[in-house]
Amino acid sequence: MTDPVAKRKLQDESVEQPATKQPRSSSPTPAFETATKVLFNQLPKKMTAEALTELFTTHGIPVVAVKKSSTSATATITCADPNAAAEAKQFALSGNLGSGKVLAKILRSHTKPHGKQATQKLLTDADGNPLPLREVIKHTVTPLWNQAYDSQLRTKKFENLRLLNSFTKEMLKLKPQSAAQTKELAFWRHLSATNAKQHDEATAGDKAQLCKALEAAGLPTEGLRGTKLSEVDKQRYQDIRAQFTIPRFFDLPCPVLDTVASPAVDHYRSKCEFAFGLDSDDNVVLGFQAGKFGTVYDQVAPADDCPNVDATTLDLVRRIRDHVATVVDRFPLYDREAKTGVWRLVMTRTQTTKQSMVVVQYNPTDLTEADITDLHQGLQSCLAPSQVTSLYVQACDQIHNGFNAKFGFTLLAGTPTIHETLMGRDFEISPASFFQVNTRGAERLYALVRYLATTGYEATPEAKQKALSTLQPNELAVTSPQASQTALLDLCCGTGTIGILMASAFAKVIGVEMVEEAVKDAQRNAEANHITNAEFIAGKVEKVLAPELRKLNRPTDQTSDEGESSPSAQPLTSAVAVLDPPRAGVPKSVIASVRNCDKIDRIVFVACDFKLSMQNVIDLCRPTSNTYSGVPFRPVVAIPVDLFPHTKSCELVIELVRNPQSEEE
């Protein structure tokens, strides 16, 4: 028998040796020195915990505890020591736990094995076998890739119909406190009867359309009973079926128009973030992570098969990957478990102007100045043939995974910023800038926002639907009859994109943003585009809005299409607000300040995730109270806009006006 003391000494000595690539099936790496739990997936469901224990014990693998339900394909075992955990993992991967392919992963000692992290659903083929990792990446990053694009648009409209129905239900839960408020709330059900009639007319031929759509997708048309489909195809079936089964009595707060399509469906992403990892043969991989951290899909695979990634990005990724593979013995990959290693993340930006930016994040811990110099020079050399416009690095030793502007960015080569053209305007992009990842799709989004804020606000829903097909993103000379008297409030303006694009349609633009660096970018972008009627202010909306609106009665300057300014002959008497909040929305204090400003008679709300920002719109529309003074708003039209083909993400633009029923009271 091996002396335990000698064995421990040997292990300790091995840790002190220079880092080398180890096969995944070898003994635990330092990241798992104390890890004794192993998660298994794709086990035979009928296999019991007792049978599993006996199987491991028979093969000399000491098991302390086994947790498995007789109806689940997932199990967690606790081994006597980390070496036993590694043996159990290898034992399972060698095909000893069933006829199918079993997945196994050693868990961190503090990971909850049956928590949300450890229960990511496996993607399988029609025979129940796990899909290859490259296929998993494709379904994770672009889950709608195998749906026809018109089908994707219907799926996204249905999802927004469902969310707007939930919005209406939340509005109806608000208890009226007076007769006036009862009258306000009565509005939210006014569409029910109309919806039912329109639904009956529109869905008369839905069954035939459903069968046609399923047949085109290669799916069964008579239901799933008795069929053998993969998990992916089952999800496709449900997505397509949902498009033709809209509930008859959806309570919608306003008409919902068809989803605005993206001009670019494939290879449209101008910004991507990639992680480093190793494949099953321990080759360096730079790509997307297949699943959540701490699950059986906590692995990285190439992004080559993802239809939203462009060729220039893939070329940059391959160059960096090949370079890192040659120096990985000296500069190992960062291990998120052990918090050791060097190479962490890569961000790429590839714009329609043919300019590109690369940011490489690394962990500087334990690196000497000579190491850092060599690391920087190696990156410059490997990317020199690709003529990258801007090459940055970020030295980051934080535990959290992701880029963080507080760590700063170091320019290694090229220009500090790159440029993108949007609706005829030029914008600078720095490493930390927010800029829409689908440039041509963003032009349609902003053209729609401009239309609703100017000439489109008086149009009927039918006229708006018709206008969507004729909007010209590059038309800058768009004005409304009220332009000489109306100000645009670009709230949460970021780098000023919306305000700059709409400056020619309004007498005055006021942009408000909390992030001071973003405001500086907005001011530079306005100056570069010769915009003189736009003012960008750093501060909180609730503190800046009221003082700025009090200035509206003063004479101001109006900018012509050529960028020349002239004094406005009339005072500014009203304002239109464009609110493009972060994904989770804005604080309630921002909404309260907007409602309290009576000069704001219209709002164009742009939600990148309406499920998360729905509460903002509820608060804009809820009955007047001590917290929310001012006449409430009501939605008049909602329009989904697809900026992310092949994914389930979708923007939702909602036009809101002050509630006329409240004004009458």
Of the residues 272, 306, 608, 650, which is catalytic?
Answer: 608
Contact between 478 and 455 (Cβ < 8 Å): yes
- Two structure tokens written together for 381: 């050399």
Q: DSSP letter for 81, please.
A: S
Question: DSSP for 4-53?
Answer: HHHHHHHHHHHHHSPP----TTSSPPGGGTT--EEEEES--TT--HHHHH
89 Rama sector, left if φ>0, alpha if ψ -120 to 50, beta otherwise: alpha
294 Rama sector, left if φ>0, alpha if ψ -120 to 50, beta otherwise: left
Contact between 412 and 379 (Cβ < 8 Å): yes
The answer to whether 200 is annotated as binding is: no
Q: How far apart are CA 547 and CA 542, in angstroms?
A: 10
Please confirm, yes or no, whether 608 is among the known catalytic residues.
yes
The answer to whether 117 is annotated as binding is: no
Q: What are phi and psi of 490, to 5 degrees?
A: -95, 95
Strands (E), 176-260: none
- Two structure tokens written together for 39: 């998660």
Q: How far apart are CA 233 and CA 218, in angstroms?
A: 9
- In angstroms, the Cα distances linking 7 to 181, 277, 323, 627 are 77, 30, 37, 68
Contact between 334 and 344 (Cβ < 8 Å): yes
Q: What are phi and psi of 201, to 5 degrees?
A: -70, -40
One-letter-per-residue 3-state SS of 146-178: CCCHHHHHHHHHHHHHHHHHHHHHHHHHCCCCC
The answer to whether 513 is annotated as binding is: yes
Residues that are catalytic:
608
Please state the residue numbers annotated as binding site for S-adenosyl-L-methionine: 436, 513, 580
Known binding-site positions: 436, 513, 580
